Amino acid sequence: MDTTYDGIIIGAGHNGMILAAYLGKAGLKVLTIERKSVTGGGLSTLEDPRHPGFLHNIHAFFQRAITNMPWYTDLELERHGAHYIEPDLNVALLTRDNAVLGWWTDIERTAKSFEQFSPKDADTLRRWHHEFVPIVQNILSWEAKAPPLPLEQRRRLLERSAAGRRLLEVSSRSPLEFVQEEFEHPTVRAGLLFFNGLREVDLRVRGFGHHIAALLASPAKAQISRGGTAALARALDAAVRESGGEFRLVTEPKRIVVEKGRAVGIETTDGELIRATQFVASSLNPHQTFLNLLDASLVPKSLRDQVTNFQYNLLAPLFALHLNLHEAPRYTASTRHPELQRALMVIMGLDHFDQFGDILRHHEQGTIPPTAMWGACPTSLDPSQAPAGKHTGFMWEKLPYRLKGNPDWSGVGDRHGKKMLELWQTHAPNLADAVIDSFTRTPMDTERSLPNMREGDLLVGAFTNGQIGDHRPFPGAGTYRAHLPGLYICGSSSHPGGNITGLPGYNAAQIILADLGIKADWVPPPIEEHLSRLD
């Protein structure tokens, strides 16, 4: 077997595969190695082994604006079988008294829903949407699709345009301050913080005040993959193979091989040496890449300290309850809001924004907060994910990775799953007789399944601790180049971060091709040029 490639990528999650496909299209011979027996990482759909035909998306399910992503079009993923559904009612928050706060793909319908709670908040929503549409279009969406600029250079460029100055001004607040200062109704505040904030950033941290306005203004709404999330993994896998790329599954690196100070390949845990003439790129977390896979003599103390100080999200780990159902949940609130039966994400147990402080305190103490959860009935939008006439459903809850200091959830998980089901039944009483079978997954299961999601952090690194932009994962490694020639990073611990965006892989491809002197027609113009042209 030929064991020399132009490049080796470690980890066949979506970021690794997007990088592999672009580099393959540029004519490079690329091998991607993956410890599991399937590609996709967080793009995973399991068929319940006890109930054939019931599919469960155990990691990513709600995917934001996949069809708007440049790689989705460039890699022709629909030709490779991907298909996305974008439900009109993207998010519905059910209050204890069965009122519904809805977030629609159409902002005016969202404003009308807000009006039921507070006409003033509905007007505030319209105002922020209007003001932020050009900021999202002209600045934020460009920045996400480009290697990040040094923070000072970015600031100087943004200060040159009115939109840039406004962005800097709004971001100087925290999401919590933004919501408290701009909106009045407790349910509206809770909803905005939840579906725009809690899932991604620490709400108390200044520098993210623009986050909610940006998400409200973004054309990017939640979508789901027909046939299950893994359908996107299969499409990416096919695109990689079509570009000439190869995979080695059930293969783990023991170390990254470095010769004369340059990364030149990997040695597998089976002792095989696989060489790379141009690059090695890791989509794993900084602990894995720099501490586990590089000989300690190759990692200077200052870098070792940076890795050791890299922080994972306290609030990201998820606990999941998955159900096989005879019928879809029938919400009591749907008698007044029939559209609820076609909602994508449903949130329950969250009525007041004060709950966030409580959730945070429980995470710090390693205890379980009162349940606030969100999830979906995938089969009400995509019947192909269950046998004919049957359904699946799931709910997620943010729960601490460690319960009272111990990540072992044995004996607690099923009990907690029952509590979640009880809350679900208060809103959808038919679930009492509809459940065929169920299972739960804990934050520890996430880490076992995907070790790059250390401590169950599905975003693979916090956005606090300065870990953003060209300081993600840490200063000196923010442009996908590691400290050794030929070594790159390309996963969620790089800009712009976790979730299914594919942008760390997309941006890393730009950097690797530039370093190799290969021109590619898909590469956008340099971000500094774009920002300096704004009025």
Ligand X SMILES: Cc1cc2nc3c(=O)[nH]c(=O)nc-3n(C[C@H](O)[C@H](O)[C@H](O)COP(=O)(O)OP(=O)(O)OC[C@H]3O[C@@H](n4cnc5c(N)ncnc54)[C@H](O)[C@@H]3O)c2cc1C
Name the token pair of 50.
Answer: 């006890």
Place of tokens 């969100």: 374
Q: Tell me how crowded residue 408 is: count the other CB atoms within 10 A of its CB.
A: 10
Long-range contacts of 381-386 (CB under 8 A, 24+ apart): 381/85, 381/87, 381/224, 381/342, 381/344, 382/85, 382/224, 382/226, 382/227, 384/55, 384/226, 384/227, 385/45, 385/54, 385/55, 385/227, 385/228, 386/53, 386/54, 386/55, 386/324, 386/325
* In the complex, least distance from residue 221 CB atom to ligand X, rounded to whole angstroms: 13
Nearer to ligand X, 121 or 237 (CB): 237
Nearer to ligand X, 124 or 465 (CB): 465
* In the complex, least distance from residue 111 CB atom to ligand X, rounded to whole angstroms: 25
Which spans of this chain sit near ligand X (rule: CB under 6 A)?
A: 10-16, 33-36, 41-42, 59-63, 252-253, 283-284, 288, 318, 320, 446, 450-453, 458-460, 491-492, 498-500
Nearer to ligand X, 203 or 503 (CB): 503
> Pairing mode, if any, of strands 222-225 and 84-85?
antiparallel
Nearer to ligand X, 181 or 270 (CB): 270
* In the complex, least distance from residue 35 CB atom to ligand X, rounded to whole angstroms: 4
User: Measured at the alpha carbon of residue 135, what is the angle toward residues 129 and 140, in degrees to the nearest 5?
Assistant: 115
Phi, psi of 255 (to 5 degrees): -155, 155
Place of tokens 């290697």: 147
Nearer to ligand X, 450 or 531 (CB): 450
* In the complex, least distance from residue 87 CB atom to ligand X, rounded to whole angstroms: 14
Provide the Cα torsion 188, 193, 199, 202; round to 10°.
-170
* In the complex, least distance from residue 173 CB atom to ligand X, rounded to whole angstroms: 25
Nearer to ligand X, 124 or 292 (CB): 292
Question: Containing H/E element for 177?
Answer: helix 175-182
Name the token pair of 435.
Answer: 């459940």
Nearer to ligand X, 148 or 253 (CB): 253
DSSP state of 369: P
* In the complex, least distance from residue 99 CB atom to ligand X, rounded to whole angstroms: 25
Q: How far apart are CA 459 and CA 435, in angstroms?
A: 31
Buried b (16+ CB within 10 A) or exposed e, 156-188: ebbeebebbebbeebbebbbbebbeebbebbbb
Nearer to ligand X, 59 or 495 (CB): 59
Q: How far apart are CA 20 and CA 18, in angstroms?
A: 5
Place of tokens 């919400």: 331
Q: Is the dihedral of CA 467, 468, 472, 475 positive or negative?
A: negative
Place of tokens 């919501």: 179
| Residue nearest ligand X, Cβ-based | 13
Strand pairing partners for 489? 282
Q: Are 283 and 503 in contact (CB under 8 A)?
A: no
Nearer to ligand X, 223 or 243 (CB): 223
Q: Which amino acid is at 178?
A: F
Q: How far apart are CA 248 and CA 229, in angstroms?
A: 22
Q: Is the dihedral of CA 399, 211, 12, 295 positive or negative?
A: negative
Nearer to ligand X, 167 or 198 (CB): 198
* In the complex, least distance from residue 166 CB atom to ligand X, rounded to whole angstroms: 28
For residue 119, whether the previous peptide bond is cis, meaning omega lies within 30 degrees of 0, is no
* In the complex, least distance from residue 457 CB atom to ligand X, rounded to whole angstroms: 9
* In the complex, least distance from residue 15 CB atom to ligand X, rounded to whole angstroms: 4
* In the complex, least distance from residue 279 CB atom to ligand X, rounded to whole angstroms: 17
Closest CA to 520 of 26, 142, 71, 69: 26
Closest CA to 190 of 315, 351, 349: 351
Nearer to ligand X, 239 or 450 (CB): 450
* In the complex, least distance from residue 42 CB atom to ligand X, rounded to whole angstroms: 2
